[in-house]
């Protein structure tokens, strides 16, 4: 007993001596730079994440940026569990509310123990520890602080308590200290280690977190022992085995901070670059969440058909603002990091509206012109190209309106023969299809059926351009960032006619029937597309206010099982467009001054009589649309630049080359190397090959040159 009193008295004496020395020095030491205010420290605090906000200021995504530490939002003292506060104060600074920055009794005890060779004891108060966090030069340069370093730390803590209240000191301390590894602050510790907010920490969890403060890298067993020791000292009713189980379960595994909100990962990675950054976007958070739900539900329905991925983009027509950017289905996706909106895939039939628009714009035909939906073979340098309709059925002569709205393939290829591959590909580039990097010849006539690789982002903006009457501008994810590029890339007159066709439910019925997932109760123009082998399917459409694009498929490129645009992407599109117009309607575009409506009848009853839209001066003089194929006369085979090799295994006298010209059924005069080779008129001619370079020409009945190609026979 006497020994204990003696040690206590010596400690008091030593503390008094240190206090007197400190007071003497403090009286003659300049104050120096004053400590920052509590509000300054709080304002300077930066989280390791960056935040993405929607158009209404709501946080829609958290993304970690800083790799050096994990810090979450500053947490107020009132939002921290009282159990945690009690455990930390008891473990780190029991006389916290009774001292003025320095616990002289603890300092005396530590000094006495050090002088007498006893066990090293800590004397740093919570305020002193905070001081070292606020001032870098107060941190120890070696393994332990020198006496001088400790002295400056104590002095700074004393000055800090002159301008801060205790609650501010404790709140800042709990937000700035490191708990485990890179975890800084109570919010990151609570969510990262226990997957809960600081307000929800129970007694065992609080004891464990308090035990982490002195040494963030200590062993699990020591953490459990320390937590039990703190609990026993507090008089808590704890079970050591429970503490140990929680330590091994939670502290013994890699921590994970689950984002509170993660609705736009791909946009976040595009826009967020600095920790603490808050970026406003054009996105609508609630709509984004709703689209995720729609897409995932539909993908769940299609899982049995080998469908695993999808993407959706929704934009506002007038501004180009992106309202929804769902790059994939999230956790259910086969590749959650892949952005299905920017990925390039085969377009399928979704490019047909731009082909027909170009043909109508150049007045090569009208919406009432008749094209042949029949089997077609086109000779190319690499062999015959034989396009086929889906299901291999053919309707015969049809109007351009029916051909486009019903997505017939052979009429589209015939239209491309008329327009030309190069003009069509160049038009697509003008409309922002930056994914097109090959020369037009690379795509050939299959470009009409969507062999070109494009992205959903480009495709949606191209359809939005039609919704805007042919005026193209860039899409925007940042409010007010409209970009400087705006141009007219399509004729308003031809665009209006194509939009009218894409909205025509009756004409669409030839392929899809009257009741399908493209039918809405308000005005919309919409097109589906399916790529080769059912690897991708699309549904893109627009209303008066919005353009919605949906892609369904597999990021791996694996084919789906019997899924087309109408059965895969279209139901998603329909539900989204209905959601957008839940409380508003949609009106079709007003006819521009350059178009007029006229009643037309079709010869041979090809189609019923109807009102049709025409660019002025292209309407028929009488209300009868003649069964005329508007195909530019041209040589189909051989293609220009072809090299034809005579087969050595077949006698030369038996070999023939088939010269072919279009349109089928029309007659031409043929000449080879400026010499007539057929006196009559026909569209197909057999010729015995002769080695050398040749120039083949077709002429009309007045012997005017219509087309000419050069080829080589070897």
Report percent pLDDT > 70 for the chain. 85
Residue 287 lies in a domain: no
Per-residue pLDDT, 705: 81
Residue pair 103/89 in contact by the 8 Å Cβ criterion: no
Task: Spell out the alpha helix ranges (H) of 52-122.
Answer: 82-92, 104-115
- Note whether 558 and 547 are same-domain residues: yes
* pLDDT exceeds 60 at position 627: no
- Note whether 592 and 528 are same-domain residues: yes
In tens, the pLDDT along 71-124 reads 999 999 999 999 999 999 999 999 999 998 888 876 766 555 555 554 544 568
Residue 185 lies in a domain: yes
- Note whether 642 and 695 are same-domain residues: yes
- Note whether 92 and 201 are same-domain residues: yes
Task: Detail the DSSP E strand segments found in 41-142.
Answer: 49-53, 59-64, 70-71
- Note whether 108 and 237 are same-domain residues: yes
Helix (H/G/I), strand (E/B), else coil: 588:
coil
Domain assignment of residue 242, given as a range? 2-42+75-251
Residue 95 lies in a domain: yes
CATH of the domain at 143: 1.10.3810.10
Residue 284 lies in a domain: no
CATH of the domain at 697: 2.60.40.10
- Note whether 647 and 563 are same-domain residues: no
- Note whether 35 and 48 are same-domain residues: no
Spatial distance between the Cα atoms of 687 and 661, rounded to a whole number of angstroms: 14
Per-residue pLDDT, 90: 93
User: pLDDT averaged over the chain?
Assistant: 86
In tens, the pLDDT along 292-307 reads 999 999 999 999 999 9
Residue 228 to residues 91, 119, 234, 294, 295, Cα–Cα distance (Å) = 11, 21, 10, 49, 49
Residue 335 lies in a domain: yes
- Note whether 193 and 338 are same-domain residues: no
CATH of the domain at 364: 3.40.710.10
In tens, the pLDDT along 209-246 reads 999 998 777 899 999 999 999 999 998 888 999 999 99
- Note whether 328 and 426 are same-domain residues: yes
> Across-strand partners of 634?
662
Q: Of 592, 530, 587, nearest to 562 (Cα)?
A: 530
Residue 619 lies in a domain: no
Residue 683 lies in a domain: yes
291-292-293 Cα angle (round to 5): 90
Task: Please give the helix or strand (H or E) that residue 487 lies within, else none.
Answer: strand 486-488
In tens, the pLDDT along 446-460 reads 999 989 999 999 999
Spatial distance between the Cα atoms of 609 and 615, rounded to a whole number of angstroms: 19
Tally of structural domains, the chain = 4
Helix (H/G/I), strand (E/B), else coil: 353:
helix
Find the radius of gyration of the CA atoms of the chain.
Answer: 39
In tens, the pLDDT along 142-185 reads 556 566 677 788 888 999 999 999 999 999 999 999 998 889 99
- Note whether 561 and 653 are same-domain residues: no
The predicted model scores a pTM of: 0.80
Q: Which two tokens stand for residue 119?
A: 């066990």
Most confident of the ranges 282-286, 535-539, 617-621: 282-286
- Note whether 375 and 242 are same-domain residues: no
**Of 21-25, 452-456, 473-477, 706-710, where does mean pLDDT reach its minimum?**
21-25
Q: Exposed/middle/buried for 328, CB within 10 Å: 0-12, 13-18, 19+?
A: buried
Give the pLDDT band (50/70/90) at residue 624: low
Per-residue pLDDT, 31: 54
Residue 14 to residues 92, 128, 615, 673, Cα–Cα distance (Å) = 21, 20, 102, 117
- Note whether 406 and 268 are same-domain residues: no
Residue 567 lies in a domain: yes
Give the pLDDT band (50/70/90) at residue 273: very high
Per-residue pLDDT, 568: 87
In tens, the pLDDT along 485-534 reads 789 999 999 999 999 999 998 877 666 666 677 889 999 999 999 888 88
Sign of the four-CA dihedral 269, 271, 274, 275: negative
Residue pair 475/362 in contact by the 8 Å Cβ criterion: no
């Amino acid at each position: 007993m006497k020994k204990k009193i003696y040690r206590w008295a010596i400690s008091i004496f030593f503390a008094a001596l240190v206090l007197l020395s400190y007071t003497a020095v403090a009286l003659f030491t300049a104050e120096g730079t004053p400590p920052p205010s509590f509000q300054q420290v709080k304002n300077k605090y930066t989280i390791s994440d960056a935040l993405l906000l929607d158009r209404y200021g709501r946080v829609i995504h958290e993304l970690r940026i800083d790799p050096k530490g994990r810090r979450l939002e500053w947490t107020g003292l009132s939002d921290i569990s009282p159990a945690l506060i009690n455990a930390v104060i008891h473990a780190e600074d029991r006389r916290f509310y009774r001292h003025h920055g320095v616990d002289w009794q603890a300092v005396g005890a530590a000094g006495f123990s050090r002088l007498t060779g006893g066990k090293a004891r800590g004397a740093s108060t919570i305020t002193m520890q905070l001081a070292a966090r606020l001032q870098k030069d107060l941190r120890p340069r070696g393994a332990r602080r020198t006496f001088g370093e400790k002295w400056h730390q104590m002095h700074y803590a004393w000055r800090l308590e002159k301008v801060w209240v205790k609650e501010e000191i404790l709140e800042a301390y709990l937000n700035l200290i490191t708990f485990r590894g890179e975890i800084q602050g109570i919010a990151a510790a609570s969510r990262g280690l226990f997957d809960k907010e600081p307000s929800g920490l129970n007694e065992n969890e609080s004891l464990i977190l308090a035990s982490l403060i002195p040494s963030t890298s200590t062993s699990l067993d020591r953490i459990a022992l320390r937590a039990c020791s703190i609990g026993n000292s507090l008089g808590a009713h704890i079970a050591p085995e429970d503490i140990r189980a929680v330590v091994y379960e939670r502290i013994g595994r890699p921590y994970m901070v689950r984002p509170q909100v993660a609705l736009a990962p791909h946009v976040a990675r595009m826009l967020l670059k600095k920790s603490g950054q808050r970026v406003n976007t054009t996105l609508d958070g609630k709509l984004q969440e709703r689209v995720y739900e729609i897409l995932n539900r539909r993908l769940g329905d299609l899982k049995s058909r080998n469908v695993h991925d999808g993407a959706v983009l929704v934009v506002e027509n007038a501004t180009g603002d992106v309202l929804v950017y769902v790059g994939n289905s999230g956790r259910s996706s086969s590749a959650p990091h892949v952005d299905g909106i920017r990925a390039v895939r085969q377009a399928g039939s979704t490019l047909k509206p731009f082909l027909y628009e170009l043909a109508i714009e150049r007045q090569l035909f009208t919406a009432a012109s008749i094209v042949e939906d029949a089997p077609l073979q086109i000779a190319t340098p690499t062999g015959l190209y034989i396009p086929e309709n889906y299901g291999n059925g053919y309707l015969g002569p049809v109007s351009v309106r029916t051909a486009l709205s019903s997505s017939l393939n052979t009429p589209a290829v015939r239209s491309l023969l008329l327009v030309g591959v190069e003009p069509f590909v160049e038009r697509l580039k003008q409309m922002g299809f930056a994914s097109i990097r090959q020369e037009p010849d690379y795509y050939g006539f299959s470009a009409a059926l969507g062999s070109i690789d494009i992205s959903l982002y480009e495709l949606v903006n191209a359809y939005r351009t039609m919704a805007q009457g042919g005026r193209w501008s860039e899409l925007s994810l940042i409010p007010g960032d409209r970009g400087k590029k705006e141009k007219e890339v399509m004729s308003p007159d031809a665009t209006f006619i194509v939009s009218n066709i894409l909205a025509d439910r009756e004409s669409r019925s030839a392929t899809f029937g009257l009741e399908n997932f493209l039918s809405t109760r308000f005005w919309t123009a919409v097109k589906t597309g399916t790529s080769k082998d059912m690897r991708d399917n699309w549904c893109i459409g627009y209303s008066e206010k919005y353009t919605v694009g949906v892609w369904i498929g597999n990021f791996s490129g694996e084919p789906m099982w019997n899924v087309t645009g109408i059965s895969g992407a279209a139901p998603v599109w329909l539900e989204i467009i209905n959601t957008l117009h839940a409380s508003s309607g949609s009106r079709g575009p007003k006819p521009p001054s350059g178009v007029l409506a006229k009643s037309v009848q079709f010869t041979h009853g090809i189609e019923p009589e109807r009102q049709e839209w025409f660019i002025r001066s292209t309407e028929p003089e009488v209300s009868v649309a003649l069964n005329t194929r508007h195909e530019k006369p041209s040589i189909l085979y051989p293609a220009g630049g072809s090299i034809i090799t005579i087969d050595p295994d077949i006698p030369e006298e038996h070999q023939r080359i088939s010269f072919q010209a279009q349109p089928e059924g029309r007659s031409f005069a043929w000449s080879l190397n400026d010499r007539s080779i057929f006196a009559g008129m026909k569209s197909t001619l057999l010729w015995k090959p002769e080695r050398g370079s040749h120039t083949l020409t077709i002429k009309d009945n007045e012997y005017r040159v219509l087309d000419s190609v050069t080829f080589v026979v070897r």
